[in-house]
A and B are shown apart, each in its own frame.
Chain A
Amino acid sequence: MDFLEILKQKAFLGREFLTWLWFKSEQSGGRVELPGDSVVEVIFLNRMTLDLSEADTPQSVTIKGEHSELREGLAALREGKKIEETRVSLRGSLNEFTLTFKGTWLSFGSFRTPPVLPGDEAEPEDEWEASFLEKISLVEEGIGLVDLLFGHFLKLRLSPNWETLELPAIREWIAKGEPVLTGPQ
């Protein structure tokens, strides 16, 4: 497959990941547990776009505003839409990041890291380099959290547990609008 074909045929992977992540966040009170006892706090913020990518004519809906997202978002999921774009807050063991996540591209908009504090280097060039290296290390830490979550999703998506446990739980959550416990995975 060439790149454009992959982009078209496999775009569902990013959308399913974001939709699953929302379920996971709602199910666990925002604490997504990963193998190896690590936890990433995932909070969906007040903006989300869902679309019906498999339709002949693309249909999308954008939901904004506090507290309205659960009801309206679930209504869109019931129509078969999946999350294409969402603003989330992620916190690992060290720092918190907020970013607008695009499902098709796995790209990050308005990515906010903790502030980079001014250093005490004497030369401006050294100061700039120190700030740069601190900033990039924060950015890569944030992207690393995304990769951890995405890697966990992939393992689950390819395992038999997806069909037998995870997918029924997601469907039940969408139907009822409440989190359903799936037990340890």
Chain B
Amino acid sequence: MGFAARSVSIFRYRIKGELEGSFWDAVAEGVRKGAFREIESAGDIIATGWTSMEDFTDHSFEQAGYVRGNYVALSLRIDSVRIPSRILEIHYKKESAKLLQETGRRRLSSGQSRELKDRLKESLRHQAFPSIQVYDVVWNTAEGVVYFGQLSARARERFEDHFKKSFGLTLVPLIPYIRAQELLESDAENNQLDELKPCSFVP
């Protein structure tokens, strides 16, 4: 569900680090560097990167920009293809039988078997429809806070990695303890927080 929807999910991060040189030029460079494109990977992901929040098919940002006041509004698109194991098995059986017949051997070596599976996976990936995931990202540049529109650990991990690769900045999840450090003003209170142990509410 996108950011414009009535109901959204929000995971909050603090940005650690600073962009080098002119801020908005560095943002533009980061967006360009991390824009949606096909990738070579051994995993399920076939393409990933930033797209326009208004239109997940626009990754050149020609139709719409990503700067909205003090905010950077983007989407992270992740296209992945997972070949069902039974489908792979059907093709593997067919192809390995053909190969054995051609070579006159009784069985494939483990190396040949692995190579055949990889080749089949690669060719099946091109025949399958990818699953397309789009997660919205809002960067409040005045506050150094980023909101990510998905709570799942896997999506967050991919987002954190991609953000780091694009902008060279680390995202620190604003979990209660880290937000508490920010909200407490004095060193004395922060020392107390550091020492704090769980309490029992049991009567």
Contact of B203 (CB < 8 Å), options: A14, A78, A140: A78
Residues of A within 8 A of B147 (CB): 139
With a CB–CB cut-off of 8 A, which chain B residues contact A16? 198-199, 201
B179 near A136 with CB under 8 A, answer no
Cα A7 to Cα B174 in complex, Å, equals 10
Main secondary structure of the interface of A (DSSP, over half): helix
Interface flags for A74-114 (1: CB within 8 Å of B; 0: not) read 00011110100000000000000000001111111111110
B42 within 8 A of A: no
Rounded to whole angstroms, the CA-CA distance of A175 and B138 in the bound complex is 44
Q: Do B10 and A139 touch (CB < 8 A)?
A: yes
Residues 44-68 of B contacting A (Cβ, < 8 Å)? 53-54, 64, 68
Q: Which of B17-25, B89-97, B99-107, B189-197 contacts A (4 or more CB under 8 A)?
A: B189-197
Jot down 19 A-B pairs with beta carbons below 8 A, ordered by A: A3-B172, A3-B173, A14-B175, A17-B176, A79-B202, A106-B174, A106-B175, A109-B151, A111-B7, A111-B10, A128-B64, A131-B4, A132-B4, A136-B71, A154-B184, A167-B199, A167-B201, A171-B201, A174-B201
Interface residues of B (CB under 8 A from A): 3-4, 6-12, 53-54, 64, 68-69, 71, 73, 138, 140, 147, 151, 172-180, 183-184, 189, 192-193, 196, 198-203
